[in-house]
Structure 1
Amino acid sequence: MDLKSGTPYWAIRNGLMHAFPPLRQDLRCEVAVIGGGISGALIADELAAHGIETALFEQRDIGWGSTAASTALLQYEIDTPLLELCRRYGQDAAVAAYRACADAIPALQSVAHGLRDVDFARCDSLYYASKPRHCNALRDEAALRLRHGLKLRWLDAGELAAGYGLRAPGAILSACAARVDPYRMTLRLLARLQRRGIAVHDRTRLELVRAGSRSVELRSQDGLRVRAGHAVIAAGYAGQHWIRQRLARNRSSYAFVTDPLDEAMLDGLRDTLVWETARPYLYLRSTGDGRLLVGGADDAVDRPARRDRRVPDKAKKLVEAVAHRFPRLALQPVFAWGGTFAETADGLPWFGAHPQHGPRVLFAMAYGGNGITYSMIGAGLLRAAIERRAHPLAQLFSFERSR
């Protein structure tokens, strides 16, 4: 899949940081992770850290798929409000999902702490009402989250204008969020695993040959064989090609990044992620070197050539949307891009085995706006499945809920 258009900032900032070799001989391991983006890296790191012999394979260069186009807003907040999740799956399951996402932020911080220069920083998250009529539902959302121990406070229009230069009728402010350079974090994680003796191979495309009761056999484009106790398919949006069932809608999202801005212009946005109740939503966050990264303007385009052509106009629309909400900001895109993302009906991911392939083939489909947060949760969930242990979110995040 051609997953990105234009000039993603991480690709320009980082280039090709580290070379990994393609597979050159047959290999055996306990777990073969297929996918060398941020999801595969987090999963491989979790498995290897707990003594599971792991090997990772990527058909492109490492990190060069969706990860290079990710805007990497790390939030506990799911695209689907807690109120709606409670209606769909019951209060216990919905609250468990939100709490797991909240726990994933410090877990990601712990992973980033052991790496060098990945631009990880804790932030606030500001979720504002796009229209006055959205305020009542947003206040109800805030009350429900508070009732279940999720810390936040309500800001009115005056506080939003004074603290952020934001023109909006009200917002939820939460302290549980973060930012990261996803491409750099992926490369740093996998380079560290490689130094520790874990096999990491890029430019290696694997296909499933056999999934038996005790093992999985995969074959490369060169005819090399990989035999493993389990295979984890962490191939991002391309993972849908492994399953006949339609799981999500592929869409396109667009983003741009500015030059570094003056501190006075950034104001409260320096340490705050911002997004809104409208769908599709506008969002923005800063980078470690003082730039603003702005994204949104999602559409149903799933053809790379059409997405490529839309990048300049989408960047212009995003500039206009920011100017409407933040009258003091006059932004100029420096790099602009678009990328494919998959959207599930309920905003939740899928982790675990699918009936089509049996229990030895596990999927990591961290779809939606919380991809990196979901991947951190999924790493532990998949390890539990491999170790034959229960996990509190195994059912909610399984393919069973989609039936």
Structure 2
Amino acid sequence: MDLKSGYPFWAIKNGLMHAFEPLETDTRCDVAIIGGGISGALIADTLSAAGHEVVLVEQRDIGWGSTAASTALLQYEIDTHLTELAGTLGEDNAVLAYRACVDAIGLLEELATGLGDVGFQTRDSLYYASRRRDRSPLREEFELRQKRGFDVSWLDSAEVQERFGISAPAAILNRPAASVDPYRLTYRLLARLQERGVGVHDRTRVASVVTRPRSVDLELENGARLSAGHVIVAAGYEGENFLPRNVATNRSSYAFVTDPISRDELGVLATTMMWETARPYLYLRTTSDNRLLVGGEDDRRDIPKRRDAMVDRKARSLAKKAQKLFPHLNITPTFSWAGTFAETSDGLPYFGPHPATGPRMLFAMAYGGNGITYSMLGAGLLRALVEGRPHRLAPLFTFDRLNV
């Protein structure tokens, strides 16, 4: 799949950070991972730390798929409101999903601190009403989050204007939140794993997968074979190629970054990410080198040629919206890009085996606006599945909830 368009900032900023040799000899391991993006890296790290022998293969260069296009907002807030999720899953289950995402941000901070130099920064998250009619449902959302112990504050229109300098009917200020350079995190994590003896191989394409009662055999295009007790497909949006039918809807999403802006000019934007209630939503956050990153303008067509042609136009539209919010800033796109973005019907990810592929072939489908947060959670869930243990998130994040 052609997963991105334009000039993704992370790949331009970092370049090809490290060379991983292709896998060219027959190999055996406990767990084989297909996919060398942020999801595959987090899963490999979790399994390796637990003592499993892991081999990871990626058909491109590491991090060159969806990870390079990610805007990496790390939030506990799921694209589906807690109130809405409570209506479909029950309040306790909805709170469990949200609370798990809070935990994931802490785990990601711990991981980033240990690696160092991955652009990780803690943030506040301001979720503001786009229109006056959004104020009432936003208030209901705030009240449920507050009742269930989340760190939230309600801001009326005057407080939003005074504290954040934008005009909005109301907003919820949420903690915790964070941001990271996803491409750099992926490279540094996999390079550390390689130093510790984990097999990490890019430019290694899987030609076929054969599942057996006690193992899974991967035949590579170069003729080598990789045999494992389990295989985990962490191939992002291409993972659905292994399923009989899609479990998510693909869209295109757009983003750009500016040149660096002084922290004095950025003001609260230096420490607060912002997003709105409208769908598709506009969102803003800063990078570790004080660039403003603006994203949104999602559309329903994931057609590479059309997406390529729309990058500049969408970037101009995003810049116009951001400039309206912050007229004192010079918001001019420097690098603009687009990428495939997928959504599930309930906003939750899918991790684990699919009934059509058997128990030894597991999937990591961290779809939605907080995919990295989901991947951190999914790594622990997948470890439990490999080890044959129950996990509290299994009823919510596996294919069991899907009528297949």
Q: Would the TM-score normalized by the shorter structure come out above 0.5?
A: yes
Give per-residue Cα distances to partners, 1:12-36, cap 9 Å, x unaligned: 1000000000011011000001100
Q: Which residue of 1 aligns with 2:110?
A: 110
User: Helix, strand or coil: the match of 1:259?
Assistant: strand
CA distance, structure 1, for counterparts of residue 48 and residue 130 of structure 2: 44
> For the residues of structure 1 that align with 2:365 and 2:72, how far apart are their CA atoms?
16
Counting only pairs closer than 5 Å after superposition, residues 277-288 of structure 1 correspond to structure 2 as 277-288=277-288
Q: Which amino acid aligns with 2:377?
A: I
Structure 1 match to 2:291: 291
Instruction: Compute the TM-score of the two structures, normalised by the length of structure 1.
Output: 0.99
The secondary structure found in structure 2 opposite 1:163 is helix
Deviations 1:191-214 (A, max 9, x none): 000000000000011144321121
Matched, 1:216 2:222: no
For residues 372 and 231 of structure 1, what CA distance do their matches in structure 2 show? 20
Shift of 1:169: 1.0
User: How far has the Cα of 1:402 moved from its partner?
Assistant: 2.0
- Give the whole-Å Cα distance in 2 for the aligned partners of 1:50 and 1:259: 42
Alpha-carbon distance in structure 2 between the residues aligned to 1:21 and 1:215: 25
Give the total of aligned pairs. Answer: 403
CA deviations 1:18-75 (Å, max 9, x no partner) are 0000011011000001100000000000000110111100000000000001000000
Listed one character per residue, the Cα deviations across residues 163-208 of structure 1 (whole Å, up to 9, x for unaligned) are: 2221111100012100000000000000000000000000011144
Q: Which residue of 2 aligns with 1:79?
A: 79
Report if aligned partners of 1:219, 1:225 keep a CA contact under 8 Å in 2. Answer: yes
Are 1:368 and 2:371 counterparts?
no
Task: Spell out the pairing of 1:129-278 with structure 2 (5 A cutoff).
Answer: 129-278=129-278
Q: Is the 8 A contact 2:251 2:302 kept in 1?
A: yes
- Aligned equivalents of 1:284, 1:330: Cα separation in 2: 14
Shift of 1:132: 0.9
TM-score (norm 2): 0.98
Name the structure 2 match of 1:55: 55
The answer as to 2:327 corresponding to 1:322 is no
Q: Distance in 1 between matches of 2:362 and 2:183?
A: 24
Note the C-alpha offset of 1:330: 3.2
Structure 2: how far apart are the matches of 1:228 and 1:264?
53
Q: Report the 3-state secondary structure (helix = DSSP H, G, I; strand = E; otherwise coil) of the residue aligned with 1:390.
A: coil
> SS in structure 1 opposite 2:149?
coil
Q: CA deviation at 1:323?
A: 2.0
Runs of 4+ in 1 over 6 A off after TM superposition: none
Structure 1: distance between partners of 2:42 and 2:209: 25
User: Alignment identity in percent?
Assistant: 61
- One-letter identity of the residue aligned with 2:379: A
Structure 2 CA distance for aligned equivalents of residues 217 and 402 of structure 1:
27
One-letter code of the match for 1:95?
V
* Cα distance in 2 for residues equivalent to 1:60 and 1:159: 48
Q: Which amino acid aligns with 1:93?
A: N
* Unaligned runs of at least 5 residues, structure 2: none
Alignment deviations for residues 301-349 of structure 1 (CA, whole Å, 9 cap, x no partner): 2111110000000000001111222333330110000000111111110
For residue 104 of structure 2, what is the amino acid of its counterpart? A
Q: CA–CA distance in 2 between the matches of 1:389 and 1:316?
A: 50
| 8 Å Cα contact 1:165-1:327 kept in structure 2 | no
Answer yes or no: is the 8 Å Cα contact 2:208–2:220 preserved in 1: no
Match of 1:341 in 2: 341
Contact 1:312 1:336 in 2 (8 A): yes
Name the structure 2 match of 1:33: 33
Output the CA distance in 2 between the equivalents of 1:287 and 1:9: 10
Partner residue in 1 for 2:44:
44
Q: Paired residue for 1:128? A: 128
Counterpart Cα distance in 2 of 1:184 and 1:209: 30
- Give the aligned partner of residue 357 of structure 1: 357
